[in-house]
Copies of this chain bind each other. A is one copy, B any other.
């Protein structure tokens, strides 16, 4: 006799948006979950998610949603993830695995270790996928294909939880990397949070009446300034030490450029720009 076996029987996605919805679509396509329940503050998002086949069932009440779940995925913006941890902590069944998709890990892990009882198995994840768009309507079954997912287990992380979540992301097409939570947050400040803040700062700097002459260069450079201000505000505050460090580094680089231009130092300016170009080429090859 052959049983149909799932990696998880009941998966609950808290926050059925772009990321949560894409996870749902991919879980179902890969046959990894018996049943997928999604939550959202917006009933229309849940209806869309069910229609798209991203979830089997929508539920607006968190505690009803998580009843009996063997996997809960915290897929909201960082501030909501932190609230969710407190709200669900005492209502999760024994051995329930919990992971998240937050782009900052220290704060999430601190909250998880503080609020979750010992019988809840938490492991942090950060899928480096997404776009400047948001909402479940933009979800895609292929969002994680080829994407990097950084997992941040700690000494306290349960091995089974770590292995099952790693298996899940791998099945969704992602390349899983493991990193210390503190290191993760420092790296993200430079490769993600800084470019976002720089894009916002460039847009802030361009006078309104010049905008109509903006071409491909300005558009590419500031595409991510169309991202959610709310979400990015929360990221700045949650990771502020590293974010400030990266912003300071950027100001330092601009000050260097400024000095080289004033000094008319052709050779040193060429070296600066050439070094940046070489690093940019490495980025394309990786």
Contact = CB atoms under 8 A, between A and B. Distances in A.
Contacts of A150: 213
Contact of A197 (B190, B227, B248, B257): B257
A200 B269 CA distance: 11
A67 interface: no
A252 to B, nearest CB: 8
A251 interface: yes
Contacts of A261: 236-237, 240, 243-244, 247
Interface string A24-43: 00000000000000000000
A238 B135 CA distance: 45
Given A273-B232, A279-B211, A201 B128 contact: no
Contacts of A258: 244, 247-248, 251
A33 B260 CA distance: 43
A203 B276 contact: yes
Copies per complex of this chain: 2
A148 interface: yes
A207 to B, nearest CB: 6
Interface in A58-108: none
Given A206-B190, A244-B262, A247-B257, A225 B147 contact: no
A206 B221 contact: no
A277 B226 CA distance: 5
Interface in A259-279: 261-262, 264, 266, 269-270, 272-277, 279
B229 A274 contact: yes
B213 A279 contact: no
A155 interface: no
Interface string A107-144: 00000000000000000000011010000000000000
A9 interface: no
Nearest to A246: B205
B215 A286 contact: no
Given A200-B273, A229-B270, A264-B237, A286 B211 contact: yes
Contacts of A129: 215
B211 A191 contact: yes
